[in-house]
Amino acid sequence: MDRVRIAVSACLLGENVRYDGGHKYDPYVAEELAAHCELVPLCPEMEAGMGVPREPVHLVGDPAAPRMIGNQSGEDWTVRVGALVRERVTQLGAMRIAGCVLKSRSPSCGIDGVDVAAEDGRLEPIGRGLLAAQLRRQLPSLPVEQERGLHDVGRREHFVVRVFAHHRLDGLLATDAADASAAWGLVAEFHRRESYLLTAHNPRNCAELDRLVAVTAERPPADLRARYADLYTETMRTCATVVQHVAVLQRILRDLRVQLTARTQEDITAAIADYRDERTSLVDVMNLIERQLETGGRSILGDQSYFAPAPVELWPCRR
């Protein structure tokens, strides 16, 4: 598959595009993400022709549909920036980006908590930047995070896993199928590889996906892939938890019991309990399971996304 593409606020990459001619270089985005993904920089304010250095702008009015106004001049940029972000988001969709990292608190890029001035001038941090709002409207399933969120290890891990899941799903949706039956085959095989990961994120939704794939084996609907994609995306929105990881590890043990000696089963059961009780890490249990299931140097679980949902360098849990 193609390299994963992520759209990024250009100032996070060290580009001098901020109103004061500076940048907001973020080492995680510019170095770690860049090492594994193709980053697509964008700066709505520069691209709308504001130039640099420039007068800063702020949001005014209805937080659901704010206007973008120059701080001193009162110049109204709403129409120009609005048209620009509509066009850019359409382009990003056509480029099949798998995620987006935006600068927090910006009237253009901020995802939430952006200051919006009421008519009486009072500022309330309840807004969303114009680009972030357009992304939400046009590409609602796209994983979007702000750089501040990525400083939290749990949020970063969830974002990265969602981005790579989105990319795999996009590969499924882009694969041609001769007819509805062939489309079902592609979905069923995809679901087999994603099943443990989906269960860790949302077991109830995964069970629904199991039913969708199983029930439609006889007469797959033409829109199976679209229905599967919607529920898959919703499932991955939920964070995996320790309790759900424990359930998945126990299920893997049950599924593969016949291939393991009684002694190995006991070792894995004990390791799962240690993980549940915070005496060992998830990755230690995963490594133990994979080692026991290796044949010819390859784990038979090697094609399961659960064991490699993202490159190991980007997935903190696995480092």
Q: Which residues contact 30 (CB under 8 A, 6 or more apart)?
A: 12, 13, 14, 39
Question: Least distance from C-beta 34 to ligand SF4, angstroms?
Answer: 16
Helix 242-255 and helix 282-292: axis angle, to 10°? Answer: 10
Question: Least distance from C-beta 11 to ligand SF4, angstroms?
Answer: 3
Nearer residue to ligand SF4 within complex by CB, 17 or 285: 17
Q: Which two tokens stand for residue 1?
A: 């598959």
Q: Which residues contact 107 (CB under 8 A, 6 or more apart)?
A: 57, 58, 59, 68, 114, 115, 127, 129, 130
Cα–Cα dist 65/67, whole Å: 7
Phi, psi (deg, nearest 5) at residue 152: -90, 125
> What mask of x and - would describe binding to ligand SF4 in positions 196 to 235, judged by CB under 6 A?
----------------------------------------
Nearer residue to ligand SF4 within complex by CB, 17 or 39: 17
Cβ atoms of 267 and 230 closer than 8 Å = no
Which of these segments, 37-45, 70-78, 262-270, 305-313, binds ligand SF4 (CB under 6 A)? 37-45
Question: Least distance from C-beta 83 to ligand SF4, angstroms?
Answer: 15
Task: Tell me which of 4, 106, 164, 271 binds ligand SF4, using CB under 6 A.
Answer: 106
Nearer residue to ligand SF4 within complex by CB, 57 or 249: 57
Question: Least distance from C-beta 182 to ligand SF4, angstroms?
Answer: 43
Task: Tell me which of 4, 7, 10, 68 binds ligand SF4, using CB under 6 A.
Answer: 10
Cα–Cα dist 172/164, whole Å: 13
What residues from 40 to 79 belong to the interface with ligand SF4 (CB under 6 A)? 43-46
Task: Tell me which of 5, 6, 7, 18 binds ligand SF4, using CB under 6 A.
Answer: 18
Question: Least distance from C-beta 14 to ligand SF4, angstroms?
Answer: 11
Number of residues located near ligand SF4, criterion CB under 6 A: 13
Cβ atoms of 45 and 108 closer than 8 Å = yes
Nearer residue to ligand SF4 within complex by CB, 137 or 204: 137
Q: How far is CA 33 from CA 28, 36, 144, 147, in A?
A: 6, 6, 14, 12
3-state secondary structure 160-210: HHHHHHHHHHHHHHHCCCCCHHHHHHHHHHHHHHHHHHHHHHCHHHHHHHH
* SS3 at position 141: coil
Task: Tell me which of 6, 17, 59, 186 binds ligand SF4, using CB under 6 A.
Answer: 17
Nearer residue to ligand SF4 within complex by CB, 103 or 168: 103
- Displacement of CA 312 from its chain's centroid (Å): 16
Task: Tell me which of 5, 103, 128, 245 binds ligand SF4, using CB under 6 A.
Answer: 103
Task: Tell me which of 7, 9, 170, 232 binds ligand SF4, using CB under 6 A.
Answer: 9
Does residue 13 belong to the site contacting ligand SF4 (CB under 6 A)?
Answer: no
Cβ atoms of 290 and 298 closer than 8 Å = no
Q: Which residues pair with 146 in a beta bridge?
A: 102
Interface residues with ligand SF4 (CB under 6 A)?
Answer: 9-11, 17-18, 43-46, 103, 106, 108-109
